[in-house]
Structure 1
Amino acid sequence: MVRRVFYSFHYKPDNWRVSQVRNIGAIEDNKPASDNDWETVTKGGEKAIEKWIADQMHGRSCVVVLIGSGTAGRKWINHEIVKAWNDKKGVLGVHIHKLKNSGGETSAKGGNQGYRTRKS
């Protein structure tokens, strides 16, 4: 069974690291948003962003949060985690700080502050 995954990450600082994970080839049919696509979505305001996230998550069985140094506590990352949890999707966090960016640099390990879990 092929898993369809939604990746959640802080775009600007981590997109290069994330592309390394996405290009492993283990997850099929998962095309990243380009810079232009993301700019278009964000210009539409919060409702447009929420709709884009919902559309991207549709048909996915889990969300993988790729955690960089500044990921914790970001509004849209938190929204994606809560939505995944409420939609009963699997949620997995993976630290990516040791992966190199386009300049060959690693980053500090990101924390998990700001994430909330749903009460059972």
Structure 2
Amino acid sequence: MSRSSFVSFHYQNDHWRVQQILRMGAIDGQEIMPAQKWETVKARGDNAVQHWIDTEMAYKGAVVVLIGSQTASRRWVKYEIQKAWMSRKPLLGIRIHALKDEHQRTATAGSNPFAQFGFSDSRLTYADFVPVFDPPGYDSTQVYASIKNNIESWIASGYRRS
């Protein structure tokens, strides 16, 4: 059964990997915006990008951050994580660097994007609460199978702030 989720990721590096995951059918409600349309939204400015994210995320049941090699450094991924946290949406990460891209290459693991968000009253970060799943496998095919077999339960176990 698919689950309505907002998918956050670094478009330029990971759109091919993300397409593989969306085609699994476990995440409902979001298609990857074609590059040309994304560039059109970005050209209208930051308010337009924020509006697009806010609208797309509004009625989704969870937020899934698909973590590639540079995801943690992306400005709009950071915004999406904070938006999900403040909206109290279930939030989780799945590492996708071991899936092959359109050039049949894998990438290195990126840093945990949740570790950069802390709290004023403690040393804890979002990473202390939000699960990040690192699919096992020796190659892209095994990692793909692991994601396909587990993604629904991973989404169901996303951290929800009370």
How many equivalent residue pairs? 120
Q: Indicate conservation of the 8 Å contact 1:8/1:63, yes or no.
A: yes
Which structure exhibits the higher relative contact order, with contacts defined as CA atoms closer than 8 Å and separated by 6 or more residues? 1
Q: Which residue in 1 is equivalent to 2:105?
A: 105
Question: Which one-letter code corresponds to 1:51 in the other structure?
Answer: H
Matches within 5 A, 1:1-120: 3-112=3-112, 115-118=116-119
Bigger helix share? 2
Structure with the greater alpha carbon radius of gyration:
2
Q: Shift of the alpha carbon at 1:119?
A: 6.5
Q: Shift of the alpha carbon at 1:56?
A: 0.6
Q: TM-score, normalised by structure 1?
A: 0.92
Question: Structure 1 vs Structure 2: percent identity of aligned residues?
Answer: 42
CA distance in structure 1 between the aligned counterparts of 2:3 and 2:75, rounded to whole angstroms: 26
Question: Which one-letter code corresponds to 2:74 in the other structure?
Answer: R
Over residues 7-27 of structure 1, what are the superposed CA-to-partner deviations in whole Å (9 max), with x where a residue is unaligned? 000000100011111110112
- 1:5 alignment partner, SS class: strand
CA distance in structure 2 between the aligned counterparts of 1:82 and 1:22, rounded to whole angstroms: 23
Q: TM-score, normalised by structure 2?
A: 0.69
CA distance in structure 2 between the aligned counterparts of 1:2 and 1:96, rounded to whole angstroms: 19
Gaps of 5+ in 1: none
- 1:72 alignment partner, SS class: helix
Q: Indicate conservation of the 8 Å contact 1:9/1:65, yes or no.
A: yes
4+ runs deviating over 3 angstroms: 117-120
Gaps of 5+ in 2: 122-162
